[in-house]
Amino acid sequence: MNDTVPYGIPLDREQRYDPPAALMALHREAPLRRLRYYPDGTLGWIVTDHRLGRKVLADTRFRSQLHAPVKVPIPMPQVEALGDFEGPLPVTPGMFIEMDGADHTRLRRKLTGVFTVRRMRLLEPRVAEIVEERLDALEAAGGGADLVAEFALPVPALVISELLGVPRADQDRFTGDAATVMTMTVSAEEKAAASERIMAFIAALAASKRAEPQDDLLSDLAADEDLSEAEVIGIAMLLLVAGHETTAKMIGLGTMALLENRDQWDLLRERPELMANGVEELLRYIGVIHTGIIRQAAEDFEFEGEQIKAGEYMTVSVQTANRDPEQFAEPDVFDVAGNAKGHMTFGHGVHQCLGQQLARVEMRIAFQRLIARLPGLRLAVPAAQVPMRTDQNFYGVSELPVTW
């Protein structure tokens, strides 16, 4: 057995867009090895290459719903107050990403038809209108702005709000709390309070949709007799939080990557037909899924010559899988015309990101119009002064000062 990785997965990066050097060293030395999850010595596993990562995520012996009495390796406020507890850890109703089997399938199917490629194409004109509206506001404000606050965050937040039927005036009621839920360094009490505020907001909104249905997804969910009220709230919360935070991180950090690699910015400006491919390369290259994807063994079994014990955690390192030379010809080169096919940023298997087509549409239109309308966009401060965020579930910039 190879040496055990010290406590926790490395998060701090030496270079903004590259995985931590310590993590890449693990990847080069051994694609599967022990990971120490807690200071008390609790051991699990980490996979760092592409082939094994896909294999783990496709293997139903690794479950998404975590079980006690093993401690939880990620902040889960609804669990931390339980103390000694055996069996499956409680899952927020409707939060199907934390479920397996029939429960996961039943809830995910309620949304599959909403997020098809065809449906997302029909949504493109409205996404374009929202993007143009935010760019109008940027230009009207003058020659400088925080691109995160004025563009990267509002675009996906407005899109998912309209899809669900959240009034625009109420958007600010969930974005701040969503950031709190995603921040690993806040207390369990703060996370729980933020979650409760979001759920209370959704509960009230769902009740109004049930009384007066409209042409939106929350009205459809609220009217579904197969869903409990709690499941409607949980599904809507998952879509609101995950549906804008991840894409906002990608737009913010992706813009910075393009500004620091001006040849790639210019190439997309000159050849806009490359934008869809460029989005895939950004998804692969910058690695916003920096904490990895965590699964738990449901039973004892042998995996790649190692004995896995029931209850042990397995972390799939997405960012190193996306830099695997066995999958990508030049993994450390940022090339918007290159082949990023097979990247794992949206996961793999039955839990692969449901909203990936929406995210692609938002990013493609956002980058395309940003480059076309503000071709002279540049950082307003030295790149080293842009604050990076490693304290949230997704890696990114907390603000991006730009000028043009």
pLDDT of 336 higher than 50: yes
Question: Which pLDDT score, from 0 to 100, does residue 188 have?
Answer: 80
Element (H, E) at 160: helix 154-164
State the burial class of residue 359 (Cβ atoms within 10 Å of its Cβ: 0-12, 13-18, 19+).
buried
Q: Do 188 and 77 form a contact (C-beta atoms < 8 A)?
A: yes
How far out from the chain centre does Cα 324 lie? 20
Question: Which pLDDT score, from 0 to 100, does residue 128 have?
Answer: 97
CA within 13 Å, CB half, 358: 29
Residue 15, number of CB atoms within 10 A of its CB: 9
Mean pLDDT in residue range 370-396: 94
Which of 156-170, 179-193, 231-245, 328-342: highest mean pLDDT?
A: 328-342
The dihedral sign for the CA sequence 349, 354, 357, 361: negative
The three state secondary structure string of 66-122 is CEECCCCCCCCHHHHCCCCCCEECCCCCCCHHHCCHHHHHHHHHHHHCCCCHHHHHH
**How far is Cα 249 from Cα 371, in angstroms, rounded to an integer?**
18
262 CB-near residues (< 8 Å, 6+ apart):
none
Question: Which pLDDT score, from 0 to 100, does residue 206 have?
Answer: 96
Residue 369: band (very low, low, confident or very high) from pLDDT cuts 50, 70, 90 = very high
28 CB-near residues (< 8 Å, 6+ apart):
none
Residue 69: band (very low, low, confident or very high) from pLDDT cuts 50, 70, 90 = low
CA distances from 110 to 15, 117, 203, 222, 224 (A): 41, 16, 18, 12, 9
Residue 86: band (very low, low, confident or very high) from pLDDT cuts 50, 70, 90 = low
Element (H, E) at 62: strand 62-63
Q: What is the domain partition of the chain in residue ranges?
A: 21-403
pLDDT of 378 higher than 90: yes
Residue 263: band (very low, low, confident or very high) from pLDDT cuts 50, 70, 90 = very high
**How far is Cα 32 from Cα 53, in angstroms, rounded to an integer?**
9
The 10s digit of each residue's pLDDT in 31-55 is: 999 998 877 788 899 999 999 999 9
Question: Which pLDDT score, from 0 to 100, does residue 210 have?
Answer: 94
The 10s digit of each residue's pLDDT in 96-153 is: 999 999 999 999 999 988 888 888 888 999 999 999 999 999 999 888 999 999 999 9
- CATH for 21-403, options being 3.30.1330.40, 2.60.320.10, 1.10.630.10, 1.10.760.10: 1.10.630.10
For the chain, helix (H) and strand (E) counts, in that order, are 15, 14
Residue 90: band (very low, low, confident or very high) from pLDDT cuts 50, 70, 90 = confident
Question: Which pLDDT score, from 0 to 100, does residue 366 have?
Answer: 98
CA distances from 191 to 88, 334, 396 (A): 21, 36, 20
Query: What are residue 23's phi and psi, to 5 degrees?
Result: -70, -40
